[in-house]
Amino acid sequence: MSPEVERREAEAPFVLALDVGSSALRAIFFDSLGRSVRDLSARREYRLKTTPDGGAVLDPEELLQVLVDVVDEVLAEAGGLSEKLAAVGMDTIVSNVLGVDGEGLPLTPIYTYADVRNGGEVRKLKENLEEGRFYERTGVPFHTSYLPARFLWAEGALGEEFRRVRLWLSFGAFVLLRFFGRTGESLSVASWSGLLNRHELSWDEELLSYLPVGPEELPKLVDVNHPFVGLRREWAGRWPELKDLPWFPAIGDGAAANLGSGCTDPRRVALTLGTTGAVRAVHTGSVTLPRGLWDYRVDGRRGLLGGALTEGGGLYVWLKNFLRVPDDPEEALSRMPPDSHELTVLPFLSGERSPGWRGDARMAVVGLSFHHGPLDLLRAGMEAVAYRFGLIYELLREALPEAQEVVASGGALMASPTWAQMVADVLGRAVVLSAVPEATARGTALPALESTGTIKDVSEAPEFFGRAYEPDPERHGVYLEAMERQRRLYDLLLCRGGAST
């Protein structure tokens, strides 16, 4: 069975999955087995609007129009198949927020996770509050990505406009407000805000008491299986196929990526290496949160433990261009023995997220001499990223010792068998590539299929895996020594002060 199916062979009922990323928005039909239907998809690209002072925003009305356009297109392509739709599901980039007035009209842009203008406010939070206590409750540290520092910054930056805001909500909740005239913030997306108490699954009122936004200015919390039904008249007229369908609140894109790649329980870890990186595992019940990781929500029943890296394929591209490495160095890189360069690299071109959360960290290379060449530096950078994955995996297994299998995805990893093998050797675990081309969108469709009763549980959906990379014990030993060298350098350079933004 393939993860993609021809239209004539697809099995109804269908789900329309909307995948709202940081640079593209997709609308894709999935059948009852969680397979994407060939040629029933639409895609539009866009860019974050950045500013020299660290701003990174999107225009809410423009992004909503992109969503409307892709829905228009995919429904037109579907023709009669759209009558067999059972639900609409959505995932979005997370840690995003915008403010609307009493009429639901945007007063601010969408502030994204990449907006770092609130770095000073992160430092104030760390100075004035006991971070560890809130970290344990919300599952995240104080950081520029999250809303506590965002709200403090916005109060000062927006002035009177800030006081006009009646509701702060994510883009996914804004979509519901516009289409249905009512809204709710899913537990999944709320968990990425830094304001959700992960034990009580409610807004953390003590934390909010220190902020200029109260719980009455946030949407009510709903689970991802809580459907919104009954499109407003203008949208029901535009999309009669959708007017009476359940439309489910947005799920966080990281949670969706886990479900879509088959990593639906604690035994299987999802490792993503694209422009950036992440290691995540779904769990049920309460877990002890290892310092350095985060604990988000898939839904009210399932959590998502893991860590994220700012470094990944972006570092590879930068090194390759900066060092003027030939176009296809893969074969040459594959012939190099592990750690043969004896370089130690901290790969932080744009700060560190997990596990140290040092936003002020920068790249360091130790051990350079005349005999080193561009390929040595490139391979050392790739190995350095693999070591960061190794650190997160070690921490994750402290809380979830059953997390044994590793399923990998992401463009950077798929493009480099050498890097995939490297990660397997560092972890000392087999790394199996996901064969799902649109894992995040699929992970949006599967909970909708579960919620409508089409499948009993997301874990019942067919799984699609590709090549497996087995670890080499000898290389694993070499990498463990090199990883310890990196750890010592990190401690020397970055552990004399406290964690920063």
| More confident: 68 or 351 | 68
| Tens of pLDDT, residues 145-188 | 999 999 999 999 999 999 999 999 999 999 999 999 999 999 99
Q: Indicate if the pLDDT at residue 481 is higher than 80.
A: yes
Mean pLDDT of 319-347: 96
Mean pLDDT of 50-76: 97
pLDDT at 285: 85
Angle CA 92–100–175, to nearest 5? 35
Mean pLDDT of 467-481: 98
Cβ neighbours around 459 below 10 Å, total: 16
488-497 contacts at long range (C-beta below 8 A, 24 or more positions apart): 489/344, 489/346, 489/364, 489/366, 490/346, 490/356, 493/346, 493/364, 494/346, 494/352, 494/356, 494/358, 494/361
**Comma-separated ranges of CATH 3.30.420.40 domains in the chain:** 4-254, 263-435+471-494
The DSSP H or E segment spanning 90 is strand 85-92
Contact 380, 290 (CB under 8 A): no
132 exposed, middle or buried (CB, 10 Å; 0-12, 13-18, 19+)? Answer: exposed
Total residue count of the chain as it appears in this document: 501
pLDDT at 345: 98
- DSSP state, residue 167: E
**What are the Cα distances from residue 10, in Å, to 29, 36, 77?**
10, 9, 15
DSSP line for 246-303:
-BPPPEEHHHHHHHHTT--STTEEEEEESSSEEEEEEEES-----TT-EEEESSSSEE
| Tens of pLDDT, residues 439-464 | 999 999 999 999 999 999 999 999 99
| Cis geometry, peptide bond prior to residue 13 (ω within 30 degrees of 0) | yes
Q: Indicate if the pLDDT at residue 16 is higher than 50.
A: yes
**Up-side HSE of residue 369: CA atoms within 13 Å toward CB?**
5
Question: Could you tell me what percent of the chain has a pLDDT over 90?
Answer: 95
Q: How far is CA 257 from the centre of its chain?
A: 8
Q: How far is CA 29 from the centre of its chain?
A: 22
Mean pLDDT of 95-113: 98
Closest by CA to 184, choosing from 248, 116, 268, is 248
Cβ neighbours around 407 below 10 Å, total: 24
- Torsion angles phi and psi, residue 238, rounded to 5: -75, -40
CA distance 413 to 313: 8
Tell me the pLDDT band of 82, cut-offs 50, 70 and 90. Answer: very high
130 exposed, middle or buried (CB, 10 Å; 0-12, 13-18, 19+)? Answer: exposed
Angle CA 17–23–27, to nearest 5? 20
Q: Indicate if the pLDDT at residue 119 is higher than 80.
A: yes
The DSSP H or E segment spanning 53 is none
| Residue 431 β-bridge partners | 406, 469
Average pLDDT, the chain: 96
pLDDT at 499: 45
**Up-side HSE of residue 196: CA atoms within 13 Å toward CB?**
26
Contact 380, 341 (CB under 8 A): yes
SS (H, E, C) 58-83: ECHHHHHHHHHHHHHHHHHHHHHHHH
Using DSSP's 3-state secondary structure scheme, residue 25 falls into strand
Contact 5, 37 (CB under 8 A): yes
CATH 3.40.50.1980 correct for 263-435+471-494: no
Mean pLDDT of 207-227: 98
Q: Kindly state the tokens that stand for 354.
A: 């997990």
| Cis geometry, peptide bond prior to residue 347 (ω within 30 degrees of 0) | no
Domain spanning 4-254 has what CATH number?
A: 3.30.420.40
| Residue 26 β-bridge partners | 19, 43
